[in-house]
Structure 1
Amino acid sequence: MSGKELRIVFMGTPEFAVPSLRALVAGGYHVVGVVTTPDKPAGRGQRLHESDVKIAARELGLPVLQPVKLRDPEFIEALQAWKPDLGIVIAFRMLPEVVWAMPRLGTFNLHASLLPQYRGAAPINWAIINGERETGVTTFLLNHEIDKGAIIGQIRVPIGEEDTIGTMYDRLMQIGTGLVLETVERIAAGDIQPIEQEGIDESTLHPAPKIFKEDCRIDWTQPGKRIVDFIRGLSPYPAAWTAMYREGSGEEALTAKIFAAKFEAADHAEIACGTVESDGRSFIRVACADGWIRLGELQIAGKKRLSVHDLLLGWRDVQQYKFEK
């Protein structure tokens, strides 16, 4: 059987899922409907915000369901009416069995890591933060546990020294699209031998939990490479940040988001971590455990994101500041 003969239900929310949805439709696959999150108020005016997947589905002329509760009888009935052969999930919510087991061929998920490593909501961020040199995408069959279903396929992708969450997100989004189409065809042809995630020493695995604002605060007492990887893994969003204050001024500390930085090794045991040095024209560097972090781009709260060169045109007293640990 060809994958194009299957009735597919697509479930997802953010931009990461959109290229796969578009590729399925453009490739002639029969997407019978899309499930995404309800519209949510956002911004100062609290206007209702539609998910990226809903916007794409509307442009593609696909019917959309937006259940508040995934066990709601009306939603289940509407889903059953689509008579799905296969479910595809990309960056959505945890599904109850009544949903993922409904399609006769099951439901598979695209996850942005090389499972079983980096199970969780932020796998790309954590792989970069932890200094990994490789990540990838995985398709797996859904079961009762998050990211623990049997693996169908994987593609390995290198992480370059200059890569950030922004560059890797875009790369994995496109590579994942190809893996989704390949997985659909393999399932349709009966050409899969899913590998169960069993017998794994959980202590050897790296988790990838959701990242909150306080998780993004830079600890200047860490080694330089660790700090640079941390900044890369959060740039451009949600962005690593630091508090900074002018010593002896009594002023309230400011915050700054840091988007790019490089490490310079140095032996400066006499200099406190968080100490700032600058020539006032071309560089700002901050002391860390084993050297200096030379800043590239940053954004002081309430200001625009700027390169260090542009920022220093209007920031003359930078050396009076200290970055808090």
Structure 2
Amino acid sequence: MTLLDTAEEKAGAAPAPAPPGRPARRIPAGVAALRWTALRLLALAVLLAAWQAVVAAGVWPRVLVPSPGDVWQAFVKASTVHDGVRGISGHLLVEHLAVSLRRIAIGTGYAALVGIPLGLLIGVVKPLAVVLEPAVTFLRTLPPLAYLSLLVIWFGIDESPKIWLLLVAALPPIAAATAAAVRGVPTDLVEAGRALGAGPVALLFSIRLPSALPEILTGVRIAVGIAYTSVVAAETINGVPGIGGMIRDAQRYNQTDVVIAGIIAIGLSGILLDALFRGLERAAVPWRGRT
């Protein structure tokens, strides 16, 4: 969550400061949301104006830095059928995005299925932590391109190496967040559970796991972001359809406008995906941030 989002939430709930002797004035949530929306639109307009000014000044050749209009035309081209050609590289932009998001969902899903139990074991069983935690840290420090070639040798150039790369990229943050969350469970809760007769398994599933759930969801959210940044690397090998494959093909033909359009599409879809996960966190752990 950004500082802007935090401020936005506070704006709808906290009264505005008032001078001494005057009652505090509460700003309606709708008005606060409109203010933040206007601020974001203003920032976007300033960015687009600066971009257009750089292009008009001819600081760099148009083939290297296309105008906002050129990028918009690339969006239209990538999203429609033109001259008998379907989008870019034979697929529409939404199809490229859908395939990449499916790969991210599969890779991150497998990473969560492995990483959460692994993190629970690391956080609860100290002998296993001594053995497994260095391996998790080792994987977390590796950039995806470092082991992509090895995965291609092992699994070929179809879907398998892409899914494996996203799984290996997303697993360490989930396992590390889960382990840290389990270790951070208040000792008083654990001791109270033991006093009531709960065994190790009951303590794990009735106290440790629910208490650690907010941090676990944060780890999954971070892992999704890491998987999204890794999908372009995963799709450099036979990645069409896929947003990374589309960008790779455009780069080969110096289609800078298509490359920028693809980057913007990744960023916008990433914002929507992150907002979806924040909504999921609020629904799954409504007590988070409350006393």
Q: TM-score range by the shorter chain?
A: under 0.3
TM-score (norm 1): 0.22
By relative contact order (CA 8 Å, sep 6+), the higher-ranking structure is 2
- Judging by fraction of residues, say which structure has more strand: 1
TM-score (norm 2): 0.24
